[in-house]
Structure 1
Amino acid sequence: MSTHKNSNRAVRLPLYIAITLCVGVLIGANMAGSTSTPTSDFMKGLNKFRQVLTHIENDYVDEVDSEELVESAISNMLEELDPHTSYIPAKELELIQSRLEGNYEGIGVEFNIFKDTIHVVTPLSGGPSEKLGIRAGDKIVKVDGENVAGVGMTNQKVVEMLRGPGGSEVTVSIKRDGEDELINFTIERDVIPQYSVDVSYMVDDEIGYIKVARFANSTYLEFKEALLKLKDQGMKKLVIDLTGNPGGYLNRAVQIADEVLAGRQMIVYTDGKEKRYAEEHYSGEKGDFETGSLVIMMDEGSASASEIVAGAVQDHDRGLIVGRRSFGKGLVQLPIDLNDGSELRLTISRYYTPSGRSIQKMYKSGDLDEYYLEAYNRFENGEVYSSDSIKFNDSLVYKTDKGRIVYGGGGITPDYFVPLDTAQNTRYLNRLFNTNSLQEYTVLYAQENREELAEMGFETFRASFDVTDKMLKELVDVATDNGLKFNEKEFNRSKRLLRQLTKAYIARGIWDNEGFYPIFNEQDEIFQQAIQLMDEADQIAKR
């Protein structure tokens, strides 16, 4: 959570101190089973808080928003505890919860903003927009009569305008190619399911692949469905892709780990100051992939629940972890509802893998920038490019069930390190993404050639479609229009990779993730290494 800066430190500093005590009482009042009573110091602190806030409200030279002062003070105070204890204002809570609950209420479109215009990338299957006939390529120019084109709209603002309670209505005015007049759609908002398993498909006759984007409420059921589908297609070996997965619900991670671990084996345990927060989680249910080669893909963006699954698989020698060291988020938060609809997420324990490794990386209280930038600093210190740059803590040595050495100190270190490929990755290529140029070009290309590409079919497209030099020139022109200066040297260095990425994103515009990932993974170095290590993963499981 970012720090809210305010030049008037004389006003805020006493608030920080006083609100620390106030929130302590709120926590005690909301924690199940709490029997502690406030001390006299507590009551003095609460009285001081009341006095300070009253004086500011009544006597301060300018008008102040007391609620804003309190919320700012709470956020700053919590930053002094640990990086994951946080306060979520009521107005932000619904959006955050919807990502974990697996659904939200809205009109059901995936959109992007190109040249200050909202483009419908795709109407979501089964959603109200699809049912009314809104199409990929439509441009939303008005919402409830308010102009939204060319006025500097942000993604967050568009979400706020289009989302709303189920049953409510919103009118969008659409500009559609080939139509002279705007088309108005009055859309009744509805529950829009969000999926956390991005894709599952057979890589070859034996190897299945499942991409898990986060651990939300529906993740286990989605994973189970994907697993059974792949088994019906003959899967004997499995790749679970957790790269970039920030985590989510603990119980969903436990359920997925249980699908691949046989018998009763510990998956994760927690330990905290209070005994009631010390828990152990074991496998036990009959899983659908307890034997067979297993590889887990992860990287510096894999955190929390992702690390629980990977740690359990690694400690029990069930399969191989391939990629780069994970983020290192092993603090457990308890969500506590506050009276105004906001939420306090209080760290109450730590995660440990079955061998006893703490997942949490080191942190310095009050320095959130250093903590969150650590993952980016791995690019600076060379860790993402060479395993020799990974710093192990020799005092935190652990062993797997079969005696392999693993290290504590935060995050999960892979069994097989895969360096980030720098041969084709250039600043110009990255800027094509940062300026939205690659996305803009591929979305528009897919829209303009939709009928022809759809008739071709994905397998034919994958085998025979080539991104031509003419298409790359068109992409460069789009980037130039977006303010990106052409760099011929870097363009030529990235050219082969750029062809592959352009093809993958065009496929996404026609066949969604089922088209994107099979092509994208052809150039993904972690995926390619995972496939090559399947036989070794099988040997580990059989030892």
Structure 2
Amino acid sequence: MSFQPQQPPRPHSEPGTRNWRWQVRQPWLLGLVLACGVLIGANPFRPSSQNPDLTARGYLKFKEILSYIDRDYVDSVNTEELSDYAITRMLERLDPHSVFIPAKQQQQASSFLQSDYDGIGVEFNTFRDTVTVVAPLSEGPAEQAGLQPGDRILAVDGQAVSGVHFTMQDLFSKLRGPRGSRVQLQLLRRGLPRPITVAVTRNRIPNSSVDVAYMVDNQTGYLKISRFASGTYDEFKAALGDLRRQGLTRLVLDLRGNPGGYLDRATKIADEFIGGTKKIVYTEGKGDQYDTQTYSRVAGEFEDGTLVVLVDEGSASAAEVLAGALQDHDRALLVGRRTFGKGLVQQPIALNDGSELRLTIARYYTPSGRSIQKSYGRGLADYEQELQKRSRNGEYFHADSIHFADSLRYRTGRGRVVYGGGGIMPDLFVARDTSAQSGYYLKLQSLNLVREFALSYYQDHKTELEALRFEQFGEQFRISDTQLQLLATRAIQSGLPTNAAGLRRCAPLLRTQLKAHIARSAYGKAAYFRVLNHDDAEMQQALNAIREPGNTALLGLAGQ
């Protein structure tokens, strides 16, 4: 599942949580990522029933059938798996975001919202069935043990992991473990005649949800939040404080591709931008048990500075709560494309066997009264195809392809018209880069050829790159036509036929992607985002708006 085609999947973080949304393939994981969009509080779930007799009869019927299957069915069956399957299908009749997580998958699911983990601290990717280090995390155990970009991991504790059928989850389980424990890695390093063995002692590794924060110029900062995990608010406060010390007076907050997370982290961040006592979000459930209202209440760090928020079709749930509150209070200019449209709240409920039920217990509404939940009345399959329908209808490329019913019209605090019922429409629409939809480009990405080529280039030119400061690299470095042809040649060797027209179409995007990945290896993660953002249409639109003093739309939104 790719929420942001302009920015291809980044390398795996070792435990599989940092970029987990890019790894989703199975249907249950697809539902889970979006079901993770809003998790509220730690209130204990208090079971009750409006019709206890019907509930009891249903329970007894299920128990009776399962007992007959276990005793009399012609073949041996795993009744626990059957039960899990039945629960999953039952929840599909409710809504797309109520989800059951079996015990064996619960740890992986929960890791999405964790802010740290025990492991070795390395980003890696798989090139031609070989696990390859993209970058050791700064000051982590892998870096301290001497791992380098481009190292190929052949074996972990004596078991081969390259050139064999080894899933990412298998590799994650081998690399992580209790802090203080040791893992032996067999590495193949360029320039050495034979593999080397490196011992790495695991430690606690931060799993940041604030991907990057940097100053674009002496007044304008950029801050990207990838999800709302347990430590997101603290990370955000630290990053914002650092930007303020560098002279921040205007901020671009990037929520693109953010699938959500803990609701209270999103509302606390909203409180940093919204002054006074103003409603941020409210929820309504069955009866009044889950009815809540959340207001701004603290003196925030950035209540008066100019604010632009980037959103797209991958911005969901808690990300939409934050964006919707800022838009409804005329606090920020929203730039990008219509958000996902998830306005349902899930309560996590731990079950006795270690599994977990995440049950929809309320709907949330923005301050103006908008429910941004899109329709799911036609079933789960239709719901999961909704983003593809937007593409087919031209919505990603033309703002006038989007139509809202008059009944869904609301007004912001200053009287601007906004709409509910299917995501949040930004104030400034930016079309998706069509070259990202090139079949040739997508195949290059699916074969990992762009990242592999960039890493190989870094290894071949490491000395020259280290002699350049990033600012020099940004100004002077260019991907040449010759290098693009070399990439195309590698593609042919990997079974991707020549496609001159396809290469021409996506050449500008490829140049940016290759340069960004090379910068990641040479200068770190912030350099990767700096290069990407330099040619990113939404980012450039945001900067144009934030820097233009005559932009009346922006001036009307800035400040309180």
Within 5 Å, give how 1:365-380 maps onto structure 2. 367-380=379-392
Q: Relative to structure 1, is the Cα distance of residues 60 and 240 closer, same or farther in structure 2, using a 3 angstrom cutoff?
A: same
Distance 1:182 1:297 in 2: 45
**What secondary structure sits across from 2:391 in the alignment?**
helix
In 2, the alpha carbon distance for the partners of 1:3 and 1:134 equals 35
Give distance in 2, aligned partners of 1:480 and 1:221. Answer: 47
Task: Determine if the alignment matches structure 1 residue 509 to structure 2 residue 526.
Answer: no
Cα distance between partner residues in 2 of 1:410 and 1:423: 27
Deviation at 1:423, TM superposition (A): 6.2
Are 2:510 and 1:494 aligned? no
Question: Separation in 2 of the partners of 1:37 and 1:238?
Answer: 49
Cα offset for 1:303? Answer: 0.5
| 1:368 partner letter | L
Secondary structure at the counterpart of residue 154 of structure 2: strand
State the partner residue of 2:541. 529
Match of 1:409 in 2: 421
The CA deviation at 1:385 is 0.6
d(CA) in 2 for partners of 1:285 and 1:3? 41
1:85 aligns to 2:102 (yes or no): no
* 1:129 to partner: Cα distance: 1.8
The reply on whether 1:346 has 2:346 as its aligned counterpart is: no
Deviations, residues 156-191 of structure 1 (Å, cap 9, x unaligned)? 332233223334443221111222332223333332
How far residue 259 of structure 1 moved from its aligned partner, in angstroms, is: 0.9
- The one-letter code sitting in structure 1 at the alignment partner of 2:335 is V
Partners of 2:56 and 2:243 lie apart in 1 by 61
The correspondence for 2:146, drawn from 133, 140, 145, is 133
1:9 maps to which residue?
A: none
Unmatched segments (≥5 aa) in structure 2: 1-24, 29-42
Code of the residue aligned with 1:315 in structure 2: it is D
Q: Is the 8 A contact 2:220 2:248 kept in 1?
A: yes
Q: 1:512 & 1:373 partners in 2: Cα distance?
A: 36
Q: Assess if the C-alpha contact under 8 Å between 2:435 and 2:441 holds in 1.
A: no
Which is bigger in relative contact order (C-alpha 8 A, separation at least 6)? 2
Q: CA deviation at 1:489?
A: 1.3
Alpha-carbon contact 1:105-1:191 (below 8 Å) kept: yes
Pairing partner for 1:301 from 304, 307, 314: 314
2:556 counterpart (535, 539, 542): 539
Give matches, 1:424-503, under 5 Å.
426-503=438-515
Change (3 A) 1:376 1:454: farther
Partner of 2:372: helix, strand, or coil?
coil
Name the CA distance, whole Å, in 2 between partners of 1:105 and 1:240. Answer: 30
Is the Cα–Cα contact under 8 Å of residues 435 and 484 in structure 1 kept in the other structure? no
| C-alpha displacement of 1:394 | 1.1
2: CA distance, partners of 1:113 / 1:327:
30
CA displacement, residues 88-137 of structure 1 (integer Å, 9 cap, x when unaligned): 11221112212212122222211100011000111122322222222221
The range that moved more, 149-158 or 349-358, is 149-158
For the 8 Å contact 2:226–2:257, the answer to whether it is kept is: yes
Q: Offset of 1:478 from its aligned partner?
A: 2.1
Kindly state the Cα deviation for residue 310 of structure 1 after the two structures are TM-superposed: 0.7
Residues in 1 aligned to 2:437 and 2:473: alpha-carbon distance in whole angstroms:
25
How many angstroms does 1:424 deviate by? 7.6
Q: In the alignment, residue 557 of structure 2 is paired with which amino acid?
A: I
Structure 2 contact 372–420 (Cα < 8 Å) conserved: yes
Cα distance in structure 2, aligned partners of 1:314 and 1:76: 37
Partner of 1:394: 406
Match of 2:260 in 1: 247
TM-score in terms of structure 1 length? 0.91
Paired residue type of 2:170: K
Counterpart of 1:200 in structure 2 is 213
Q: Residues of 1 paired with 2:70 and 2:438: CA distance? A: 54
- The one-letter amino acid of 1:208's match is G
Distance 1:431 1:175 in 2: 27
Q: Distance in 2 between matches of 1:425 and 1:396?
A: 31
Distance 1:55 1:328, change over 3 A: same
* Deviations 1:255-305 (CA, angstroms, capped at 9, x unpaired): 111111111111111111130201011111111111121110000000011
Structure 1: which amino acid aligns with 2:251?
A: L
Give the superposition deviation at 1:490.
Answer: 2.0
| Range with greater deviation from structure 2 (327-336 or 194-203) | 194-203
Give the partner amino acid of 1:58: R
Q: How does 1:25-104 map to 2 (within 5 A)?
A: 32-34=45-47, 39-104=52-117
Q: How many residues align?
A: 517
TM-score by length of 2: 0.88
- Counterpart CA distance in 1 for 2:148 and 2:512 is 26
* Aligned partner letter, 2:463: E
CA distance in 2, matches of 1:441, 1:522: 21
Structure 1: runs of 5+ lacking an equivalent: 5-29
Between stretches 385-394 and 124-133, larger displacement belongs to: 124-133
Deviations for 1:411-463, whole angstroms, at most 9, x for unmatched residues?
A: 11111111113268522122221221101111221233223212211010001
Aligned counterparts, 1:111-130, within 5 A: 111-130=124-143
Work out the percentage of aligned pairs sharing the same amino acid: 48
For 1:285 and 1:199, the matched residues in 2 are separated by 25
SS at match of 1:120: strand
On the 8 A contact 1:424/1:493 being kept in 2, the answer is: no
What amino acid is the match of 2:556? Q
Residue identity opposite 1:540 in structure 2: L
Distance of aligned partners of 1:475 and 1:419 in 2 relative to their CA distance in 1, 3 Å threshold: same
8 Å CA contact 1:292, 1:538 repeated in 2:
no
SS at match of 1:75: helix
> Over residues 363-389 of structure 1, what are the superposed CA-to-partner deviations in whole Å (9 max), with x where a residue is unaligned?
126x22221221122111100110111
Q: Distance in 2 between matches of 1:424 and 1:343?
A: 37
Given the alignment of the two structures, is residue 221 of structure 1 paired with residue 238 of structure 2, yes or no? no
Deviation at 1:36, TM superposition (A): 5.3
1:269 aligned partner, one-letter code: Y
Equivalents in 1 of 2:469, 2:120: separation in Å? 29
- Could you say which residue in structure 2 is the equivalent of 1:110? 123
Quote the residue 1:188 is aligned against: 201
Higher deviation after alignment, 238-247 or 483-492? 483-492
CA-CA distance at 1:34 after TM superposition:
4.1
Displacement of 1:153 in angstroms is: 2.8
8 Å contact 2:337–2:425 — kept in the other structure? yes
Note closer, same or farther for the CA distance 1:93–1:168 as it changes in structure 2 (3 Å cut). Answer: farther
Secondary structure in 1 matching 2:418: strand
The aligned counterpart of 1:14 is none
Task: Kindly provide the amino acid, as one letter, of the partner of residue 91 in structure 1.
Answer: K
Distance 2:46 2:66 in 1: 31
- CA distance in 2 between counterparts of 1:472 and 1:372 reads 36
Partner of 1:7: none
- State the match for 1:155 in structure 2: 168
Whether 1:234 and 2:251 are equivalent positions in the alignment is: no
Question: Conserved in 1, the CA contact under 8 Å of 2:436 and 2:442?
Answer: no
CA contact (8 A) 1:445 1:506 kept: yes
Alignment of 1:304-323 (within 5 A): 304-323=317-336
Deviation at 1:31, TM superposition (A): 5.2
